[in-house]
Chains A and B, each alone.
Chain A
Amino acid sequence: MIFPFDERIRRARRSFLASSASGLGSLALLSLLQQEGLLAAEDAPGTNPLAPKSAHFAPRAKKCIFIFLEGAPSQIDLFDPKPKLNELHGQPLPKEMTDQVRFAFIQKETAVLMGSQRKFARYGECGMELSDLLPYTATMADDIALVRSMHTEAFNHHPGQLMMNTGVPVFGRPSIGAWLNYGLGSESRNLPGYVVLTAGRGTSGGASNWTSGFLPSTYAGVLFRNQGEPVLNLTNPEAITAEMQERGIRALSDLNRERYHLVGDHEISSRVAAYELAFRMQSAAPELIDLSGETQATLDSYGVERPDPKNSNFRGGGAGVPRAFATNCLLARRLIERDVRFVNIYHASWDHHSNLDAELEYNTFVADQPVAALLKDLKERGLLDETLVVFAGEFGRTPLGENRNGRDSNTGRDHHPYAFSLWLAGGGIKGGQVYGRTDEIGWNIVENPVHINDFHATLLHLFGLHHENLTHRFQGRDFRLTDVGGKVVEALIS
């Protein structure tokens, strides 16, 4: 794949080579020749930790877009209809059901069940039942595998997010995107292999959600901003013009190579390569976020130019959040086109302890249209087959209304790790199915439970990786994304 920007650099390089007597050995030439396979890399093999590596077996997915709804969306109001719960609205739960469970804020003594205000209907040929808050997602039902039987071990937000992103509810472990880049390398020549995009207020886990943990920082997610400078420190200081930068990088490379010849340390070659990629990112990243080449139809389908709703004073709100989220979805497609391995899209927050109906309506306004447009767009461009898309939060929400501080009217739901929903599409996923089942009120799983470790095992499997074999030795132990668990859910795979 050739990008316009490559052509620009080529031209610049050619003209430079033509005008410079000291051309040979320059960064530009070396890099150009290497890319075109005309010159065997002088660097020792294995010095580039991001060099593409083979999977354990033939992969179904090559890239992943993971959309994370921070705060835990209510599955009961979006994905898992519970008519019986609506009937039992206002009833207390039998004591034996609540005895053994923990809540963050619910007072057990006075808690009562809370039905959903949402209308569910069947969509697609598969007849997937979805909430009226997801009209756009509903049009893609036949591509989606909806899992209603997720469960997790973490109970509070930050541990929950770590669990979903790193497989364990503690700090210091690598996230999914880091593992994938560690296991498979990066195929993107001009961009990092793991990119993070956020909209709304920050996530409670912060950068620990896209950390490389004990893996080298090479594998950590790189946070792109969707306006201004797309990558931290991407832009040269004002005093340094583009021409000076190119000339400077060349001198830098020449001098580093001088040193390399003297001391013979391969690390210097890696350094040269790193400066080279940094230099390429300086053009590639601004080109990435420049949407001027997208058609109006595309922009509209994602809702990139949508106005804010009247009221956006919500947990997931803020001026321009719907536009930012839509832009991130479009950027995700552009990143996938540029061979980025893993894209994280975050939106915060879905932590609806109160005012659930109004806030969920707002949040789905933010997310539903762009996410569906992304799926459709990927599909139309033939990218969905090799791109896995995940839509998930860290846990679910209770069928009980939240009565914190003895509040008498319940308008929200508390944390519920015992049963929640997420969906997957593309990348070898068998769409048009609902997997797993919860009981009549959505409290427990009654069929096909999927632990987060199982979900991760399945995800890695789609990428052609045995979850038990993708390991890293740290502090005397071989660590995995799936910790000590994980079972591939075959039924989800097409």
Chain B
Amino acid sequence: MVFRTLFATALLLTGGAILPADEPPERKVEFERDIRPLFQKHCYECHGPEMQEAGLRLDLKASAFTGGDSGESIVAGKSGESRLYLYVSGADPDIIMPPEAKLADESVALIKTWIDAGAVWPDDPESALASLSKHWSFQPIARPAVPDEWRGRVQNPIDAFVFARLAEENLTPSPETDRATLIRRLSLDLLGLLPSPEEVERFENDPSPQAYEALVERLLASPHFGERWGRHWLDLARYADSDGYEKDTARPHAWRWRNWVIDSINADQPFDQFTIEQLAGDLLPEATLDQKIATGLHRNTLTNREGGVDREEDRVKATVDRVNTTGSIWTGLTVGCAQCHSHKYDPLTQREYYQLYAFFNSADEADLPAPSEEDRARYEVARQAHTETLQRLEAEWQSYRNGEFETRFRDWLTRVGTSDVRWNPLVAERITSADGVTFTRQEDGSYLVGGENPDAAVYEFVAPISSAGLTALRLDVLPDESLPAQGPGRVEHGNFVLSRFRCFLTEPGADERELTFQRADASHHQAAGTPQAFHPSLSLEGSDPKRGWAIAGEFGKPHSAAFELAEPVTIRESARLRIVLEQNYGSQHTIGRFRLATTSAPAPVSLQPVPEAVASLLERDHATWTDAQRTQAADYYATLDGGAASRRQAVETHRKQAPKLTDQLAQTLIERSSPRKTQVMLRGNFLDLGAEVAAQVPAVLHTTPIDSQPEQNLTRLDLARWLVDPAHPLTRRVTVNRFWQHLFGEGIVRTPDDFGTRGEPPTHPELLDWLAVEFSARGWSRKEMIRLIVTSKTYRQSSRMRPELRDVDPLNRLLARQNRFRVEAEVIRDLFLNASGLLSTRIGGPSVRPPLPSGVRELGYANSVQWPESKGDDRYRRGCYVFFQRTVPYPMLMTFDSPDSNVACVRRERSNTPLQSLTLLNDPVFFECSRALGESLANSAGRDDRERLQQLSRVCFGRSMSSREEEILTGLLYDYRRLADEERAWIGLARVVMNLDEFVTRE
């Protein structure tokens, strides 16, 4: 023993190198005898079935060799590369395992020997993974036999399963419920709406043996079916109309995906396709717009636009949510735990979690234009109208051009003669202004103003003029880097006000005289088209220092103003112009860089520099022009001619107003062209990255592993197809269970959020599997499955409590009766609107904002939440269309347990609180419904009290009132008449009836 220890120590110290080659090893290390006990004693507490610290699990061969989050732990034959050895031996200074008590040297040596000898680990006889894999929900689904004794006795196999189970407990099913309850139940379950009293009556009196089946068909075909069952899907999808978090910005396009859901469900799109399109519609070959819109499912993740948020962290959070939500919806498993550590109870390791994560890691968010059919139709009409108008305007312009324009053009040509039509910059002999203001000439002939920056200034600019004539002056103001906001003004924001523009002419031997102007125009002026317009003609008037040419709205850009003389002036030699730019607005509204130029071109003059080609053309004898040259000159003149400009402007303006197909976008996912690398995030921290992983599905569900080409990554499309592969053990079970839950109030598995080992087992396992098999056999049709379930006797049972069941089966797991439960928040709203006659039955479209109680909107952060109340019918839309603002959800919805839309909700709570009572009694929306119903009763002429009470009962409950109920309400009516007028008495009465438990309950 002593020898062995010494020997082993030596081995350890020297890495075994001194061991003589011919000396046989002391004895062979055997895993089960030597190594596993070590692991068991020292490692399994943290790396065993209960816990997998750092993702490492050492009790299973497969996991041990896969390694942990940071990589392989055992490299057979190479202890020096095996983390296991490095950590237990102390060779790694940073990590020593086990952390509390170092292993004995002897044990360390054993591990080394074992690894170096090839780390032989016999296959686990029955690994823990294998035993976990035996969990019922991970087993392949086989079609169970319908219980024999019931074959032939019931029409619907569902009943055979349920009744056989009841018989085992010596229980009998409940009788079929009365027809009034049946039609109300079915209407609520399938449409979320009340049957009208007439519909109830017709059904009650329908003698056909197929009356119920016909009713089912009618309801399944109703477009409201998609709203009702779509809303169930929105619960899973954590649908909302805003981003969440502090800013909680509205998502005006979110509803487009909701429309897709409603349409798909109404069209009974097979669930497998429904799945594939939502997870990977964008990856389908030649994906249609609808298929891309479907990917909006995973755009319902929250987005944090708060200042200082790390974008990558937010993206990681959204991706994690996509993984977790996909897990909840299709597998009924909580995969989220494995984000931070390997799953304690279900066979999902952290590495496998990130393999799932990898499917979503390369998805990017993209908002696509998403026109609807109506949009397209509307666009077609608008486009045609636009084209017609455009053609008319073009024709008008052409007719002008060939007619009146030609005359005006000829006249202009005679006036131009062969004069110089260019703008010729003036070069100053002298510029002066207030003290300390400087002017520096620039290469382009402009002057940059600098030095002192007084509140007001007058620039005096004296320059010789050489041209033969003078018809107009032009002032260019120019931006410059040196100016505030790039100019062209000198005030902080770049503006200026030219309060007066004056020009004086001095000719040799004559007194200086002031020139008069008839017109001014500018390429841009401030507040154009308003009474406050700062037009350059104000600079000619010069009557108010606060008015004149200014350019707010277009800072940092060049602008020009032209001033046309009242009459052309003939210039003699040595003439000089003195131009005075008065800028007396104050607070430094002065020009920072400018250029002055003159022209002798006849009116009208252009604000733009004249193209050189045109200028030289005009200087030549017009008679020598070719046709092309004449056209060129005419084109130029068209820029000056008022009639031409307005007509051409009309054409251009209209051209720009071409109708758009749509502003409507859809939130979608698209795949990046270069995929992101996926690494395990240690303890879920996005900054602490471990081993790289590739997309793959969890081992325990490898009933149908996804094969991938080695060079090809698996995509969301592969994941989606794998989920709806008929061999997948979970998708169909989880989905039919939800159908069942919506039709019975509870699922066959009562923990629809947990099909894993900690969840409840199914109450009727064979029935669940039979339904799952039927689901795919019936083409994954949602409507087929609903039809199958609601036509069963089990569904049609009475929901009344039977005394003998109270003790045996208080939770009604065995289904000896139907369940009775309060309807969901949205449906409560629908029922009130429905019964009062206010309901708008329009389907689809943007979310609506019905009246919000005062003081609620203000709960959003710093007024971030806007709630422009919807108008008209939109106030009375169904609950599923109410705008869902994540930080300030519509109070009534939350009071009645609507999901908060942050994570997938597979099962709603059904609480029962005083706030609910107050809401139904007093919320303005609900009271408006009571009022409408009460008023219609008060005003229904020719009916006595009794008839009115019965009518109220038929509207709200689809049944007649008992004599006791009639008595209570008659008493109430009597008292109300004493306390209020007739109309208010009926309003109060309707309010009481609509607050009854039965009204908001599906029985």
Contact = CB atoms under 8 A, between A and B. Distances in A.
B334 interface: yes
Contact of A234 (B759, B922, B964): B922
Nearest to B967: A22
A53 interface: no
Interface string A163-176: 00000001110000
Contacts of B62: none
9 contacts: A158-B304, A202-B860, A217-B896, A233-B853, A252-B995, A258-B962, A263-B820, A264-B800, A267-B912
Contacts of A279: 917
Given A102-B310, A251-B969, A274-B912, A263 B799 contact: yes
Interface in B924-974: 924, 927, 931, 962, 964-965, 968-969, 971-972
Interface in A234-275: 234-237, 239-241, 243-244, 247-248, 251-252, 254-256, 258-259, 262-265, 267-268, 270-271, 274-275
Nearest to A208: B887
A247 B972 contact: yes
A203 B758 CA distance: 37
Contacts of A234: 918, 922
A286 interface: no
Contacts of A258: 962, 964-965, 968
Interface string B237-252: 0000000111010000
Interface string A66-82: 00000000000000000
A60 interface: no
B902 interface: yes
B856 interface: yes
A277 B914 contact: yes
A174 B704 CA distance: 39
A17 interface: no
B984 interface: yes
A218 B911 contact: yes
A158 B913 contact: no
Interface stretch (B106-114, B120-128, B408-416, B748-756): B748-756
A12 to B, nearest CB: 14
A204 interface: yes
Contacts of A241: 979-980
Interface stretch (A85-93, A337-345, A471-479): A471-479
Contact of B903 (A172, A215, A217, A248): A172
Contacts of B806: 264
A247 B914 contact: no
B888 interface: yes
Contact of B917 (A172, A236, A239, A274): A274
B913 A217 contact: yes
B264 interface: no
A216 B911 contact: yes
The size bracket of the interface on A is 35 or more
A213 to B, nearest CB: 8
A237 B927 contact: yes
Given A206-B860, A207-B889, A103 B308 contact: yes
Given A202-B861, A240-B988, A252-B995, A232 B801 contact: no
Contacts of B753: 474-476
A201 interface: yes
Interface residues of B, number: 94
Given A217-B911, A234-B922, A277-B914, A158 B246 contact: yes
B533 to A, nearest CB: 35
B7 interface: no
Q: Which 7 A-B pairs have the closest CB atoms?
A: A104-B308, A476-B754, A264-B801, A206-B887, A171-B902, A204-B246, A278-B917
A231 interface: yes
B862 interface: yes
A239 B987 contact: yes
Contacts of A216: 897, 909-911
Contact of A243 (B307, B799, B979, B1001): B979
A208 B900 CA distance: 9
Given A156-B304, A208-B887, A473-B751, 19 more contacts: A49-B911, A156-B246, A216-B897, A217-B911, A217-B913, A218-B912, A223-B859, A232-B915, A233-B853, A248-B972, A251-B992, A256-B996, A263-B800, A278-B917, A278-B918, A282-B918, A475-B328, A475-B336, A477-B337
B916 interface: yes
A206 B859 contact: yes
A207 B898 CA distance: 14
Interface in B857-912: 858-863, 886-889, 891, 894-897, 900, 902-903, 906, 909-912
A209 B690 CA distance: 34
A430 to B, nearest CB: 33
Given A171-B900, A207-B887, A275-B914, A265 B758 contact: no
B77 to A, nearest CB: 38
B992 A231 contact: no
Contacts of A198: 859
B551 interface: no
B931 A263 contact: no
Contacts of A399: none
Greatest chain B CB density within 10 A among A102, A171, A277 is at: A171
B302 interface: yes
B918 A255 contact: no
A268 B995 CA distance: 12
A234 B980 CA distance: 21
Given A232-B853, A255-B996, A267-B822, A207 B888 contact: yes
B538 interface: no
Greatest chain B CB density within 10 A among A206, A234, A265 is at: A206
Contacts of A414: 308
